[in-house]
A = this chain, B = another copy of it.
Amino acid sequence: MENFTFYSPTYFVFGKEQENHAGKYVKRFGGTKILIHYGGGSVIKSGLMDRVKKSLDSEGLRYVELGGVRPNPRSGLVYQGIDLCRKENVDFILAVGGGSTIDSAKAIAAGTVYDGDFWDFYKGKPVTKALPVGTILTIAAAGSEGSPDTVITHEDGMFKRGASGEALRPAFSILNPALTQTLPPFQTACGIADIMAHLFERYFTNTKDVEVTDRMIEALLLTMIHEAPRVMEDPNHYQARANIMWAGMMAHNNSCGVGRSQDWASHDIEHELSALYDCAHGAGLAVVFPAWMTYTMKHDVSRFAQLAVRVWGCQMDFANPEATAKAGINALKRFFKSIGLPSNFKELGAREDDIDRMAQTACFGNGRQGTIGGFLKLNKDDVANIYRLMI
């Protein structure tokens, strides 16, 4: 295990009807003038927005609103939000929605108190100061409700990039699993893939002697494998939704990623897909991960075999560990397929012709130096080969 620091000061409020206390928590964490940030009309139609406003009203809190966040959130709305926050002297941002809304809120929170262009943070500048953000989560997926991370797509060039900083950990996050019960099955499945991806990206490490975090990652994967079929069969299964929701937060607040190198190449490879085709991030990850695993497996067969045995329940083939490793990858493919996720370029709406362009952007775009990945360094050719495994 390597040296590390870990700081997760978010106040988590988990359970039924907790969104009705949003005002109390905004007040506790210092908000007086709020920006309510949200996506489409679903939070309004469902009545959630009314409940949130009622809660803010009951605490005497003033607010302005900015909706319109879309999946793969864009820079344009962030600039708009920054202007609005400055004009209205907003001191707290309340994100009501999923990872895209929270990520957009974090970008606005950092940009509002920064003199330069907020995109500087997405080019690598660490975020050290931001307005406090509270979240009311409506989909278990991105983990942004507990993470110090945000991902935004810049409309000038369609670069999809991440920024990070402890100042971006939400002040509080309200997680009510019942709010996720109305999600369409495909979105639920995409969220499951995103959560599992966050775990794989931490699992594939070159750091030795990381039993405690290995076991925790495996625990969360086992939870997802147990709960996913239950929620796909019955979207109203509160308990399955609850287990997935807490696993989703734990998967990405980094408590199970500390002290070990990680590998985020798969996210990078996927970001090119969702930036170019505007596909759902989780759907892209479901296509990318088996390909990435197949390509990198030989770098550490025993780690892949460990995953296959401990998580997928494969029998260890002691005479041929590679067969076990492959069995684990096949189990993952079957699992993603069983919950209705795509497995190739065609199902995703991606085109073979774009492979070279995407590989180029993934490895060189927006200041990158030619390779991505921490487990196995991948150059442009490697990335192109991985894309080809998805055809």
Contact = CB atoms under 8 A, between A and B. Distances in A.
Interface of A: 1-16, 18, 208-213, 215-216, 218-220, 222-223, 226-227, 239-240, 242-243, 246-247, 250, 255, 258-259
Nearest to A25: B5
A372 to B, nearest CB: 27
Given A3-B18, A5-B12, 5 more contacts: A7-B9, A8-B8, A209-B240, A215-B223, A219-B219
Contact of A243 (B14, B212, B223, B243): B212
B12 A6 contact: yes
A20 to B, nearest CB: 12
B14 A250 contact: no
Contact of A259 (B14, B222, B223): B14
A216 to B, nearest CB: 5
Nearest to A18: B3
A5 B9 contact: no
Nearest to A8: B8
Contact of A226 (B11, B211, B247): B211
B14 A3 contact: yes
Contact of A255 (B211, B212, B255): B255
Contact of A222 (B1, B213, B215): B215
A216 B220 contact: yes
Contact of A220 (B215, B222, B259): B215
5 contacts: A3-B15, A14-B259, A215-B223, A218-B219, A242-B259
A218 B217 CA distance: 12
A133 to B, nearest CB: 16
B3 A16 contact: yes
B246 A259 contact: yes
Contact of A209 (B212, B219, B243): B243
A14 B7 contact: no
A261 to B, nearest CB: 14
A360 to B, nearest CB: 38
A100 B223 CA distance: 35
Given A14-B259, A216-B219, A211 B7 contact: no
A7 B15 contact: no
Given A5-B12, A13-B5, A15-B2, A209 B239 contact: yes
Contacts of A213: 246
A18 B4 CA distance: 10
Contact of A4 (B14, B219, B226): B14
Q: Which 7 pairs across A and B sit closest by C-beta, in order of nearness?
A: A3-B15, A209-B239, A9-B9, A215-B219, A219-B219, A1-B242, A6-B12
